[in-house]
Structures are given as structure tokens and as C-alpha cells.
Amino acid sequence: MKLIIAIVQDEDASRLISHLMADDFRVTKLATTGGFLRSGNTTLLIGVENERLENAMGIVEKVCKSRKQIATSPAPISGATGVFVPYPIEVTVGGATVFVLDVEQFAKF
């Protein structure tokens, strides 16, 4: 068994969960925050049998879209006056950041 940890954009989360559930995958949704943008994203935990891993990964890849976002730099530059001036930057936030872990044991009590 594998555990997929998929970090996705909030905009894609609901549709992704619907697609996964429709294909009989089990999903847990966590409200998370990206360290760089400090804005909300969604992390899904998806436990899958080995033979269904590719199927689940395909759904994540199909549903999740990358988008450009304008963000205020989290590390403001310092001007000659010593005043910190935040500046806008454009980042491309990925469709999904996915980790796949081997599951040592799985139980339901």
C-alpha cells in the first residue's frame, strides 16, 4: 500500500476530491498553509493499493492546474533609508506537489 500526500491549490481541491471519490478512492482533506506564500492550500492524504497508484496519480495530474500568482515578497528589501519595502513578485504555483510513501502498516479499528 502507498500513501499519496498531494498539496494542491484550494481552487482545485473540491473537484479533485469528487473525481477521486467517484473512482472509489478514500481521501482525507487537510487545510494547510504554504511556507513561501503564507496562504492557504489543501493537502490530501490518499491511501491506495499499489496497483491503483498510477490511476490515482493520473487523476491528480489531470485535475490540478498550475496558476500564476502575484504575491508580496515575504523577504522585503531594505532601501537606503533602512525602511523595509515589500515588493510584488509573480510565482507559478504548481498544479500539485505530490509525495508517495510506502505504508508499513494499515489498520482500521
Binding footprint of ligand 2BA on the chain (CB under 6 A): 7, 34-37, 41, 91-94, 97
Nearer to ligand 2BA, 20 or 41 (CB): 41
CB nearer ligand 2BA, residue 34 or residue 47: 34
| Angstrom distance (rounded) from CA 49 to CA 16 | 19
CB of 102 to ligand 2BA, least distance (A): 18
CB of 103 to ligand 2BA, least distance (A): 19
In our burial notation (b when 16+ CB lie closer than 10 A, e otherwise), range 20-47 reads: beeeebebeeeeeeeeeeeeebbbbebe
Considering the complex, what minimum distance in angstroms separates the CB of residue 109 from ligand 2BA?
30
